[in-house]
Chain A
Amino acid sequence: MEAEAAKLIGAGLAAIGAGMAALGVGNVFGSFLESALRNPGAADGQQGRLFIGFAAAELLGLLAFVVAMIILFVEV
């Protein structure tokens, strides 16, 4: 296989990580909404934790994006 083609396939595989992070972020907000509807009174106090969870889940997807960018643009 040509090195160029392998690079493009690798970058495409790295994009799977972005989709996995979408599952994670969706799970964070979905679980929050589910429990916020059960107990709306406690929901506002938990917004900080909601965004901490969001930030942690999102970071791993962004790392997948960084891996794709490094594969595509950094000349070894």
Chain B
Amino acid sequence: MAGEAEAGKVDPMHQFTVEPLLGQDWNIGGFNIAYTNSAMWMTITAVVLFVFMLGGMKRELVPGRWQMMVESFTGFIDDMLEANIGKEGRKYVPYIFSLFMFILFANLLGLLPLGIVGVHPFTFTSHFTVTGVLAIMSFAIVLIVGFWKHGLHFFSLFVPSGTPLPMVFVIAPIEFVSFLFRPFSLALRLFVAMMAGHILLKVLSGFVINGANAGIGVGAMVSIPSFALMIGISALEILVAGIQAYVFALLTSLYINDAEHLH
């Protein structure tokens, strides 16, 4: 069923295959550490992000267009942290900003229509391993900050202030489970949103290709509407790429706010 693409059918799951590009036999402690296409696109994302930031860090008194672009991103994250955490939020700007820009650039680079020239972009944010590590990093920061600032008092996070005593035994386990589910929800949201959009685009492109192969009449009936829909969905995917990066950064800052201030 999965992965057995019949002749002439477009397999929508094929785009998520991780293939080794270099060093298929590099092993450390029994684990293969080959340089995969996933790793290659992470490198590309990091390099593009580095170039983007380098162009905007000239510190001119009268900013040019590029510097304005970079500064509007930093200002956006700075305002978000100021609004959600308060003045203690300033020290998390580097982490949240890197997280936001890395996810945003990864999502957008994965949408580039480079398939026309034969290079197929790989959206590494559509893999749970990648988003899971990002979520674990955010969750680890929450735990470290929480225990560092409040010590064992951090556990009062599970009992909202003003809870009547009989309700504590009901609310504390629920709050505890919802707290432990946070890294999963953070990682799942990003990976499923990216994966679902890319599958949808591939399914529609399968309609276009198979419709065009079936003859002029079917082609006009199926391929042209599917292609129009694909253009609309692509625009939606650009929106989703931005929203998911924003939501990841926003939720991370909210969780850090919980660790900073309890509640």
Contact = CB atoms under 8 A, between A and B. Distances in A.
A and B are partners in one complex rather than unrelated chains: yes
Interface of A: 4, 48, 51-52, 54-55, 58-59, 62-63, 65-66, 72-73
B251 A59 contact: no
A51 B189 contact: no
Interface residues of B, number: 17
A62 B196 contact: yes
A66 B187 CA distance: 12
B180 interface: no
A63 B250 CA distance: 20
A55 B196 contact: no
Contacts of B196: 62, 65
A58 B190 CA distance: 11
B156 interface: no
Contacts of B251: 52, 55
A58 B247 CA distance: 11
B188 A72 contact: no
A48 B250 CA distance: 8
A51 B1 contact: no
A59 B83 contact: no
A51 B250 contact: yes
Nearest to B248: A55
